[in-house]
Structure 1
Amino acid sequence: MRALPVLVAILLLVVPVAAATSPAADSESSAAVEAPGPAPIDSADAVDPADAVDPTDPVEPPRLPSDPSQIDESNLTFRTLSAPADADSRVTSVVRGANLGPALSFSVDEAGAAAETAAVVDRVENAETTTERQRLILAALSRVERDEVSLYSRQAAAFSAHASGNLSDRELLDELVRISATAREYDERLEEIDALAEQTDGFSSPTRLDELQVALQVYEGPVRDLAVAAARAEVSATEIHVESTASSVTLAAIVDGEYVRETFRNDRWDRGGGAISNDAAINVTTESYPETAALRAPDAFGAGSVQRITIPHEYGLLRVFVSGGTEQVFVEHQRIDLDAFPDSERVSETGDGFNVTVDRSYAGGPVTVTVLDEETGEPDPDVTVTKSVGGGDSRAIGTTNADGVVRTLSPADSYRITVVDEPRVVVVDGLRPIATPRLEDDE
């Protein structure tokens, strides 16, 4: 493990954030099970569990065979984990862009955690006896267990503070990014501890190490990674949807032709719950996301009370974490190809030479605005499109591309879309989000 003094932290500003590949995915003690799926897949296209796609990776997800589709697209939907139905939600949006202060603080936090990992390795390797070495390994593992509890408490406090209006959108995102980066470093520390244990005579890694590795992964997420990348100016400024309750947070964004979403529900995570098997977690996921599970068989990784289920499919990727005790999904990561996004309803308006179509979706979901020439039906590029929420001021969301398309995120309130190419103007008013396609067990 590398040693990173805090003074080196500034250098990290120019280094992209990479999603860690957790040893939980490769550990022999973390079983991998693939459930039978209704859509058969050629062996050449099968996904090895060890190579399951991480939702933060820029790699295009595996595609289904090019045979005639067995998918009934008219019934296709992507259910999503959302805030509790009966909770009071605070729904906002923030444009996340380059910001040196938070970017520097993220790097300092990462460097500090990495330096502690290096110190742990050094102490164990310099132990004078095997007994002392074992004691130091167990002490380091116990320290990570306590630190994970602290991460959970910090995150729960951030959820509650944002929901009550005591934490701004930017402050919430900064805290979630710090928690994610710290959890990733703890995961890497466990990898080092595991290697040290294997190198110790008469000693092996405790089972709880594997369980803890999976539990730490729940604090990561694709929108959190996008937020830190934007702060470090690695990607352009991005609108992020934020919805919080006292026990949950949902983040969503549009990036590189995909809709990206993550939800964390504390009320569905039984931290003291018993173990849950791969098969049981797969069944929970299949029942919660029947349409998505029909696209491709899920892969399961996990140990103890938390299981991670991944479904790479034709239109993107779903990754969830299932809790023992509740036997419910409590964390969800979604990546969905915008060109194939099915959960929308269309509204059209014609005038001033424009034919404008707005494909609405649920709060926090993608909204697609398409502008065509009224006479020719051809796409109308470079046309400015604005959005006004709840009677507020109109704000530009962008200009149409070569296909006459521009996208934004749906607010929770009524909104208005305006297409402007002076002196021509078309207004699509009275728009509202559609109902969220909630999980089968969360309706």
Structure 2
Amino acid sequence: MRAAPALAALLLVCAAVAGAGAAGGPDALPTTEPGEPGAVADERASDVDHPAPNAARPAANAANVSGANRVLGLPNGSASSADIDQVRLDAGVAVGIDVNVSAERMETIALRQHVTAAETTDERQRRILDGMNELEKRVVTLRTEQRIAISAYAAGEIDARTLYVRLASVQVEAEALERRLDTLDQLADGTEDGILEGSRVEALRYDLRTFGGPVRERATLAIRGDAPPTRVYAAASGESVVLTTVVEDEYVREVYRADLRPNGGGPADEIAQNVTARSYPEIWDVQTNANGQGSGPTFVFDVPFPGGRLTAFVDGGSERVFKEYQRIDLGNVSTGDVRERTIDLTIRVNRTYAGGPLRVEVVDPDSGEPVDAAVRIARSGEGSSEIGTTGADGVLWTVAPRGTFVVTAIDEHSEDLATIELTSGDPLTVEDAYAPNGTENGS
């Protein structure tokens, strides 16, 4: 008996998405009126906008979308490719990753044995230097693998799930190489003069850490079956990439900008604090005990702030943030404007940017009580994807797709439903802080 309601829901989604072609620009919020194509023939259907309070409205180009914290965006603010896919257990890939980790571990053990077997101090030092040179070459190879993966996704040659797998593999290998670096550093400390310069070791260490990130880490856990399946938004342009997800009670964002990391950059330690403060003025003004560390052209600032944490990687050559992590407690996400629509149920969805935190709330229109409903999202011209359920509190958090999309909520007990159409807006970006008309702190 569920087939008919399910079909009705599917038709509603398709009709609403079909109407998306008439939407305006990226800031448009299309509304289907009764009698128009895609409208639901129900006297209870209604649309309501709930603007954010003035005090909560972000400045500049935030366009009243949720997640008002300033973010690092892609070059020119546009993505060549953007999609959302689910990262889940993949036994074949997991085995391949673990095999590579085991191989790296064996190489590290062999390197230690090779160095300790040296019969003279000079030979020991030479073998340590050879190991360090080889490690630096491996880092170059990793950077190439990452660049190829991101570029292939941006060009539409691979899908989002393949991108997640490749980036997860790069991260795992980088972690293994950092452990090898620790081994070399310990072996060097055992020589008379300490053959490895500390600056060289630390510069390479921070170089290796640029291959990681909280979203990649979550993807790796999901692939290995150590975490539940996770929906991840991925957008790329050229060799730069944005990854976002919702993990438990946090919105997590990870961005890498290859164009802001030129080769041969100078030391970043003297400029890093000013660069971070200028790039994220709103966060810096309320930060609680920021601290930084780094070496060579890479300096990392960890900036806790009320309800979240920013990690900014500063490059000494570009004198810009080239990589960021943001973790924001969902309870502290600014939800911006909220769209509401009532059919059988009342659905409320905040407006956000592509990859931003999307809050879906479903309530009974008569009692106002929360409804545990199944939620699906469909992008224009595509089929719908099951996202999850709102639970006892009637709320589900996820990440928003790019462009126009339709959110459908279905109460699987009563078979009541509601649908609503939105278009993702534009976030407040680090680039805005560097624009001539930027904020006072960021101009």
Smaller-chain TM-score bracket? 0.7 to 0.9
* Aligned pair partner of 2:139 in 127, 139, 148: 148
Partner of 2:417: 425
Partner of 2:37: none
Bigger RCO (CA 8 Å, 6+ sep): 2
Query: Any unmatched runs of 5+ in structure 1?
Result: 1-71
Partner of 1:273: 265
Partner of 1:57: none
Q: CA RMSD in A?
A: 1.8
Asked if structure 1 preserves the Cα contact closer than 8 Å seen for 2:80 and 2:155, the reply is no
* Cα distance between partner residues in 2 of 1:87 and 1:442: 17
Question: Could you tell me how far 1:200 is from its partner in structure 2?
Answer: 0.8
Q: Give yes or no for the alignment of 1:398 onto 2:360.
A: no
Provide the secondary structure at the position in 1 that maps to 2:225.
coil
Q: Give yes or no for the alignment of 1:215 onto 2:207.
A: yes
Provide the secondary structure at the position in 1 that maps to 2:119.
coil
When residues 126 and 170 of structure 1 are mapped into structure 2, their CA distance, relative to the original with a 3 A threshold, is same
Question: Could you tell me how far 1:391 is from its partner in structure 2?
Answer: 4.2
Report the count of equivalent residues: 368
Question: Could you tell me how far 1:417 is from its partner in structure 2?
Answer: 1.4
* Aligned pair partner of 1:89 in 80, 97, 100: 80
TM-score by length of 1: 0.79
* Cα distance between partner residues in 2 of 1:126 and 1:187: 22
The letter for the 2-side match of 1:300 is G
Question: Could you tell me how far 1:406 is from its partner in structure 2?
Answer: 1.4
For 1:187-198, what aligned pairs fall within 5 Å after superposition?
Answer: 187-198=178-189
For 1:27-42, what aligned pairs fall within 5 Å after superposition?
Answer: none
Query: Any unmatched runs of 5+ in structure 2?
Result: 1-54, 59-66, 436-443
Asked if structure 1 preserves the Cα contact closer than 8 Å seen for 2:260 and 2:321, the reply is yes
Asked if structure 1 preserves the Cα contact closer than 8 Å seen for 2:125 and 2:195, the reply is no
Partner of 1:17: none
Quote the sequence identity (%). 33
**CA deviation string 1:290-309 (max 9, x = no partner):** 11122224211101111011
Partner of 1:174: 165
Question: Could you tell me how far 1:403 is from its partner in structure 2?
Answer: 1.1
Asked if structure 1 preserves the Cα contact closer than 8 Å seen for 2:86 and 2:161, the reply is no
* Cα distance between partner residues in 2 of 1:377 and 1:299: 45
Asked if structure 2 preserves the Cα contact closer than 8 Å seen for 1:77 and 1:291, the reply is no
Larger deviation: 293-302 or 182-191?
293-302
* Cα distance between partner residues in 2 of 1:97 and 1:124: 41
Partner of 1:120: 111
For 1:32-431, what aligned pairs fall within 5 Å after superposition?
Answer: 77-85=68-76, 87-206=78-197, 207-277=199-269, 279-296=270-287, 297-342=289-334, 344-352=336-344, 354-380=345-371, 382-421=372-411, 422-429=414-421, 431=422
TM-score by length of 2: 0.79
Provide the secondary structure at the position in 2 that maps to 1:311.
strand
Asked if structure 1 preserves the Cα contact closer than 8 Å seen for 2:364 and 2:370, the reply is yes
The letter for the 1-side match of 2:375 is V
When residues 123 and 290 of structure 1 are mapped into structure 2, their CA distance, relative to the original with a 3 A threshold, is same
**CA deviation string 1:388-426 (max 9, x = no partner):** 211433333222211110122211110111222344222
Which structure has the larger Rg over C-alpha atoms? Answer: 2
Question: Could you tell me how far 1:73 is from its partner in structure 2?
Answer: 6.1
**CA deviation string 1:318-341 (max 9, x = no partner):** 112111110011111111111211
* Cα distance between partner residues in 2 of 1:442 and 1:180: 31
When residues 119 and 232 of structure 1 are mapped into structure 2, their CA distance, relative to the original with a 3 A threshold, is same
* Cα distance between partner residues in 2 of 1:349 and 1:391: 22
When residues 442 and 259 of structure 1 are mapped into structure 2, their CA distance, relative to the original with a 3 A threshold, is farther
* Cα distance between partner residues in 2 of 1:345 and 1:106: 43
Question: Could you tell me how far 1:103 is from its partner in structure 2?
Answer: 0.3
* Cα distance between partner residues in 1 of 2:77 and 2:217: 29
Provide the secondary structure at the position in 1 that maps to 2:271.
helix
Provide the secondary structure at the position in 2 that maps to 1:224.
helix
The letter for the 2-side match of 1:418 is T
**CA deviation string 1:208-254 (max 9, x = no partner):** 11111111100011111111111111111111111111121111111
Asked if structure 2 preserves the Cα contact closer than 8 Å seen for 1:360 and 1:410, the reply is no
The letter for the 2-side match of 1:107 is D
Asked if structure 2 preserves the Cα contact closer than 8 Å seen for 1:83 and 1:89, the reply is no
Partner of 2:4: none
Question: Could you tell me how far 1:134 is from its partner in structure 2?
Answer: 1.0
* Cα distance between partner residues in 1 of 2:286 and 2:77: 31
When residues 423 and 148 of structure 1 are mapped into structure 2, their CA distance, relative to the original with a 3 A threshold, is closer
